[in-house]
């Protein structure tokens, strides 16, 4: 009897069941709110001259930028997280709950990215349309979490690091806004198509930057495991000290494992992350140098948050430039 295999299969079934339950809960919230709006004039009304824009609450910086590109002048967004904030650890404040209740809809990435916010989002979904945009990525394009991930982590949530996969989220946002505001549906879909074309151009630019890095140097080492979709899309080996969530602390064994790999393989540089403490990488660098490794810090990458300008495309370009300069 394969006890380990049976346990893994059972865990996968539990994760799938939880995801189905949440999708059902979100659908119930949409139906409930639409019914209320019909019966008692609830706040979720199609925009009129007196209510010209949809009020939306978003979670992360790159998601907010995506929603703004699709929504254009027909939406107002309030973003919960500022640049540099770790979405895995962010917890709702009293003001956040107030804004979510006032909004026409809440849009999150999902896939358990907003781990500490998960229960709040589920509660809001009981009375408000909540879109988990990242969960629009087809299951066969999602990556499984590494061994040792929390049971809630059915998939790696960092889908935005592959513009092709994130295009599914763009389409989901457009469809969601069109359902909330049918009068402007054509505009939402047009803007989404324009934005997808921009993402295609961005992906081509990233691919060209990676191809300028010597093949032997195409190894990306960071603190937490946020770049596997990037590696899958652009042919880069990805090594991380922590798992896919910063809610999980790196162990001494994790640090030693990566340090030994760097010293053995001669990786030229490692990278910090703007939304994650540098302490883990610094510990790993010290351990690698004790083993004779000659390793530099190649720069800071935007893993779970954009730069100060809030631009998703800018985030992707900045990361590609940092990698080319650090590994080239």
Q: Let me know whether 173 and 219 are in one domain.
A: no
Query: What is the structure's pLDDT at 312?
Result: 98
Q: Let me know whether 179 and 215 are in one domain.
A: no
- 131, 136, 137, 140 alpha-carbon torsion, rounded to 10°: 130
Q: Let me know whether 141 and 255 are in one domain.
A: no
Task: Give the residue from 259, 256, 11 showing the smallest Cα distance to 149.
Answer: 11
User: Among residues 176, 204, 232, which one ends one of the domains?
Assistant: 204
Q: Is 175 helix (H, G, I), strand (E, B) or coil?
A: helix
User: Among residues 155, 179, 204, which one ends one of the domains?
Assistant: 204
How many domains, the chain? 2
Query: What is the structure's pLDDT at 16?
Result: 54
Regions of the chain with pLDDT less than 50: 1-12, 14-15, 24-45, 48-50
Domain of 111, in residue numbers:
3-204
Buried b or exposed e, range 114-135, using 16+ CB within 10 angstroms: bbebeebbebbbeebbbbbbbb
Q: Let me know whether 146 and 8 are in one domain.
A: yes
Q: Let me know whether 43 and 110 are in one domain.
A: yes
Separation between Cα atoms, residue 244 and residue 294, nearest integer Å: 27
Query: What is the structure's pLDDT at 247?
Result: 67
Q: Let me know whether 306 and 274 are in one domain.
A: yes
Q: Let me know whether 211 and 176 are in one domain.
A: no
Is the CB of residue 95 less than 8 Å from the CB of residue 115? no
> How remote is the C-alpha of 2 from its chain's centroid?
34
DSSP 86-132: -TTT----HHHHHHHHHSSEEEE--TTSSGGGHHHHHHHTTTS-EEE
216-235 pLDDT, tens digit each: 999 999 988 899 999 999 99
Query: What is the structure's pLDDT at 289?
Result: 87
Is the CB of residue 55 less than 8 Å from the CB of residue 103? yes
pTM to 2 decimal places: 0.85
25-70 pLDDT, tens digit each: 444 444 334 433 333 333 444 554 445 899 999 999 999 999 999 9
For 266, list phi and psi in degrees, rounded to 5: 70, 35
Q: Let me know whether 140 and 281 are in one domain.
A: no
CATH number of the domain at 188, please: 3.40.50.1980
User: Among residues 170, 204, 238, which one ends one of the domains?
Assistant: 204
Give pairs for 134-143: CB < 8 Å, separation 24+.
134/109, 134/110, 134/159, 134/160, 134/169, 135/19, 135/23, 135/110, 135/111, 136/168, 136/169, 136/171, 136/172, 137/165, 137/166, 137/168, 137/169, 138/168, 141/165, 141/168, 142/111, 143/228, 143/229, 143/232
Q: Let me know whether 194 and 212 are in one domain.
A: no
Q: Let me know whether 56 and 121 are in one domain.
A: yes
Q: Let me know whether 221 and 157 are in one domain.
A: no
Q: Let me know whether 44 and 130 are in one domain.
A: yes
């Amino acid at each position: 009897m394969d006890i380990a295999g049976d346990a893994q299969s059972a865990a996968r079934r539990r994760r799938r069941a939880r995801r189905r339950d949440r999708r059902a809960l979100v659908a119930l919230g949409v139906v409930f709110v639409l019914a209320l709006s019909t019966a008692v004039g609830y706040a979720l009304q199609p925009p009129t001259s007196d209510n010209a824009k949809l009020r939306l609450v978003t979670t992360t910086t790159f998601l907010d930028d995506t929603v703004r590109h699709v929504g254009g002048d027909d939406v107002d967004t309030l973003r919960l997280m500022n640049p540099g904030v770790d979405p895995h650890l962010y917890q709702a404040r009293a003001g956040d709950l107030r804004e979510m209740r006032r909004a026409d809809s809440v849009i999150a990435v999902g896939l358990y990215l907003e781990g500490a916010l998960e229960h709040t989002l589920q509660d809001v979904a009981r009375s408000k349309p909540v879109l988990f945009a990242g969960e629009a990525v087809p299951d066969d394009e999602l990556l499984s979490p590494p061994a040792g991930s929390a049971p809630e982590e059915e998939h790696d949530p960092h889908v935005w690091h592959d513009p092709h996969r994130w295009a599914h989220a763009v389409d989901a946002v457009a469809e969601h806004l069109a359902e909330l505001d049918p009068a402007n549906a054509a505009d939402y879909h047009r803007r989404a198509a324009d934005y997808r074309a921009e993402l295609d151009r961005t992906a081509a630019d990233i691919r060209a930057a990676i191809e300028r890095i010597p093949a032997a140097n195409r190894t990306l080492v960071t603190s937490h495991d946020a770049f596997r979709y990037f590696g899958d899309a652009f042919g880069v080996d990805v090594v991380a000290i922590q798992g896919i969530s910063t809610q999980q602390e790196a162990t001494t064994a994790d640090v030693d494992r990566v340090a030994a790999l760097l010293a053995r393989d001669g990786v030229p540089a490692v990278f910090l992350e703007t939304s994650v403490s540098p302490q883990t990488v610094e510990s790993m660098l010290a351990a690698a140098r004790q083993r004779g490794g000659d390793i530099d810090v190649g720069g800071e990458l935007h893993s779970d948050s954009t730069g100060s300008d809030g631009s998703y495309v800018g985030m992707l370009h900045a990361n590609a430039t940092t990698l080319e300069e650090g590994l080239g």
